[in-house]
């Protein structure tokens, strides 16, 4: 079953976990083992439905007792964890859709170019923009 | 031999570097591992909103007073619009904190 595959072998490559400001205040940094994160995230029903950028509210500490070995028992109710989880083990239906809207990409690059003008990013942005424009023209030809 | 990065990949790497230097980067310390938190720069064909916000804050920090109203930036208490040199709206910001910070700087 697809959801079982998720539970067994997800690959966490990128974690966005802005531990809520104030969460754990007065306590040492929250320690989560990789296993705990995987176990925790893959155990949440919403995750199984994808997409992969989601915000999870951690269950209260007691409800997360299975992971208690890795989560200090601090009095916070929840924090937000954003995870990007992907890999060959994740069935295709859970992978983010690949969009090929070239105009949107060009527009994004133009926006970065405008915002980065005068910074060291600008040259790289212009290079990327030119490359994308060439690719677009090549595809159209 | 290692494949040469495309210009887009190079830009992505630079943006990640910017994020590490100036963004709200976090490290999750596990017992034997550290997760360095970094955003995915492009989500589909769009820029990650968190990265966009960082670029935007930098841009606004550098913008001159002359920009407001007559040039690239139109601002009201509800909406901040950054326009292209041709006057076309390119970025619209409705984040009240960002707008207030900008207005305070202008004031």
| DSSP bridge partners of B28 | B35
In this complex, which of A30, A98, A124 lies closest to B10 when CB atoms are compared? A124
Structure confidence by residue, pLDDT tens digits, B30-84: 667 777 777 788 887 888 888 888 898 888 888 765 455 445 788 888 888 888 8
Q: Which residue has the higher pLDDT, B31 or B5?
A: B5
Q: What is the mean pLDDT of residues A5-10?
A: 36
What is this structure's pTM?
0.56
Q: What is the mean pLDDT of residues B5-19?
A: 89
Measured distance CA(A121)–CA(A126) in Å, rounded: 9
The verdict on a CB contact (< 8 Å) between A115 and B82 is yes
Query: How close, in Å, is residue B38 to chain A by CA atoms?
Result: 7
My answer on whether omega of the bond before A31 falls inside 30° of 0, hence cis, is: no
Contacts of A101 in chain B (CB under 8 A): 44-45
**pLDDT for the residue B86:** 82
In this complex, which of B38, B44, B47 lies closest to A14 when CB atoms are compared? B38
Q: What is the mean pLDDT of residues A63-77?
A: 37
CA pseudo-torsion sign A42, A45, A50, A55: negative
Measured distance CA(B27)–CA(A136) in Å, rounded: 38
Q: Which residue has the higher pLDDT, A135 or A8?
A: A135
CB B47 within 8 A of CB A111: yes
Q: What is the mean pLDDT of residues A81-87?
A: 44
**pLDDT for the residue B65:** 53
Contacts of A127 in chain B (CB under 8 A): 7, 10-11
Checking if the pLDDT of A127 tops 90, the result is: yes
> Strand order in B73-75's β-sheet?
B73-75, B80-83, B89-93
Contacts of A128 in chain B (CB under 8 A): 6-8, 10-11
DSSP letters spanning B60-79: HHH--GGGBTTSSEEE-SS-
Contacts of B55 in chain A (CB under 8 A): 112, 115-116, 121
Measured distance CA(B52)–CA(B41) in Å, rounded: 9
CB A62 within 8 A of CB A77: no
Q: Which residue has the higher pLDDT, A127 or B19?
A: A127
The verdict on a CB contact (< 8 Å) between B29 and A131 is no
Measured distance CA(A111)–CA(A100) in Å, rounded: 18
Q: Which strand (E) or helix (H) includes residue A15? A: strand A12-16
* Predicted-complex ipTM score: 0.83
Measured distance CA(B61)–CA(A63) in Å, rounded: 44
In this complex, which of A33, A98, A118 lies closest to B62 when CB atoms are compared? A118
Q: On the CB side of A60, how many CA atoms lie within 13 Å of its CA?
A: 3
| Residue B44 touches chain A, beta carbons under 8 Å | yes
CB A33 within 8 A of CB A12: no
Contacts of A97 in chain B (CB under 8 A): 44
Structure confidence by residue, pLDDT tens digits, A22-58: 333 333 333 344 444 554 544 443 333 343 433 444 4
């Amino acid at each position: 079953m697809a959801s079982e595959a998720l539970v067994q072998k997800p690959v966490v490559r990128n974690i966005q976990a802005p531990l809520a400001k104030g969460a754990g205040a007065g306590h040492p940094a929250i320690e989560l083992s990789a296993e705990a994160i995987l176990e925790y995230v893959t155990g949440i029903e919403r995750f199984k439905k994808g997409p992969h950028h989601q915000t999870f509210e951690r269950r209260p500490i007691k409800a997360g007792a299975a992971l208690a070995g890795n989560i200090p028992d601090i009095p916070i109710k929840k924090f937000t964890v954003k995870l990007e989880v992907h890999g060959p083990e994740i069935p295709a239906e859970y992978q983010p859709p690949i969009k090929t809207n070239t105009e949107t990409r060009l527009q994004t690059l133009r926006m970065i170019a405008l915002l980065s003008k005068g910074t060291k990013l600008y040259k790289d942005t212009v290079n990327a923009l030119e490359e994308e424009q060439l690719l677009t023209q090549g595809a159209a030809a | 031999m290692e494949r040469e990065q495309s210009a887009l990949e190079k830009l992505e790497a630079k943006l990640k570097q910017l994020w590490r230097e100036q963004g709200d980067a976090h490290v999750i310390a596990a017992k034997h591992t550290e997760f360095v938190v970094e955003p995915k720069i492009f989500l589909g064909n769009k820029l990650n909103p968190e990265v966009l916000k960082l670029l935007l804050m930098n841009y606004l920090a550098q913008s001159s007073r002359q920009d407001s109203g007559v040039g690239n930036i139109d601002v009201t208490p509800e909406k901040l619009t950054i326009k292209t040199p041709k006057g076309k709206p390119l970025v619209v910001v409705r984040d009240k904190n960002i707008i207030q910070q900008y207005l305070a700087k202008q004031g």
